[in-house]
Structure 1
Amino acid sequence: MEFTMKENSFVTEFEFGTLEVSGNADYGFRPYQLLVSSIAVCSGGVLRKVLDKKRIKYEDIKINANVKRNEAGVNEVTDIHIHFVLVGIDGTDEKIAKALEIATKNCPIVQSVKDSIRITETFERVEYE
């Protein structure tokens, strides 16, 4: 990856398009937003694959991520809580919990940061929307 400096941000090009990153949300995605998004979406994608492999049917997966930062330090991310809202899922809570555990162990982004950021995960089931 190569990033080019602009007045208020850095920019790079990927297959999907342009990514602009800045410490100021007026000029691009903030680095912590990308970090949290990567962790949440990686977890969700792996969870989807695990559910599919275990033949646990679901209608949709929504992800909520709550972030805690250390304002006394350099405002680093210290904790991320990921809450999965599983719409129309038909597995037991025990099977879903096991699938989530497998997903956590197999998400490369979570595994990359697990020793420096505390990551917790929960889920809830909702009926079809």
Structure 2
Amino acid sequence: MEFNMTENGFQHKTTFGTLDVSGNEEYEFRPYQLLVSSIAVCSGGVLRKVLQKKRIAYSDITIVAEVTRNEAGVNEVTDVALHFTISGTEASEETIAKALELSIKNCPIVQSVNNSIRITEDFTLDN
């Protein structure tokens, strides 16, 4: 990946468009937002695959990520709490909990930050 400096940050061109990143959210995405997005979306993507492989029907998944940063340090991300809302499923809470556990274990982004950021997950079934 190549990032080129802009007036307010850096830019990366992809086949899908341009990604603008800046330390100032008035201009572009902030790096910590992309980090948290990567954790949440990777987890959600793996969860989708697990549910599909187990033939568990659902209609939608929403993820809310709450971020804790260490303001006393360099404002690093210390905790990410992921809350999944899974809609339109007849699966039991136990079945979904096992699927979520598998997804976290198999998410490469979560495993990449596992020893430096505390990640917690929970879910709600919305039928």
Q: TM-score range by the shorter chain?
A: over 0.9
Once the two structures are superposed, residues 7-57 of structure 1 have per-residue CA deviations (whole angstroms, 9 ceiling, x without a partner) of: 211001112110000000111100000000000000000000000100111
Q: CA deviation at 1:81?
A: 0.3
Q: Which residue of 2 aligns with 1:16?
A: 16
Secondary structure of the equivalent of 2:41? helix
Q: How do 1:33-112 and structure 2 match up within 5 A? A: 33-112=33-112
2:124 corresponds to which residue? 124
CA distance in structure 2 between the aligned counterparts of 1:3 and 1:100, rounded to whole angstroms: 34
Q: 1:65-121 deviations in whole A, cap 9, x for unaligned?
A: 000000000000000000000011111111111100100011000000010000000
Structure 1 runs (4+) deviating above 6 angstroms are none
Which consecutive unaligned segments of at least 5 residues does structure 2 have?
A: none
Tell whether 2:32 aligns with 1:32. Answer: yes
Amino acid at match of 2:80: I
Report the CA distance between 1:6 and its aligned residue: 1.1
Q: TM-score if structure 1 supplies the norm length?
A: 0.97
Corresponding residue pairs, total: 127
The letter of the residue matching 2:56 is I
With the length of structure 2 as denominator, give the TM-score of the two structures: 0.98
Percent identity of paired positions between Structure 1 and Structure 2: 68
Paired amino acid for 1:70: N
Distance in 2, matches of 1:15 and 1:123, equals 34
Q: Aligned equivalents of 2:53 and 2:66: distance in 1?
A: 28
Distance in 2 of aligned mates of 1:65 and 1:5? 29
Unaligned runs of 5+ in 1: none
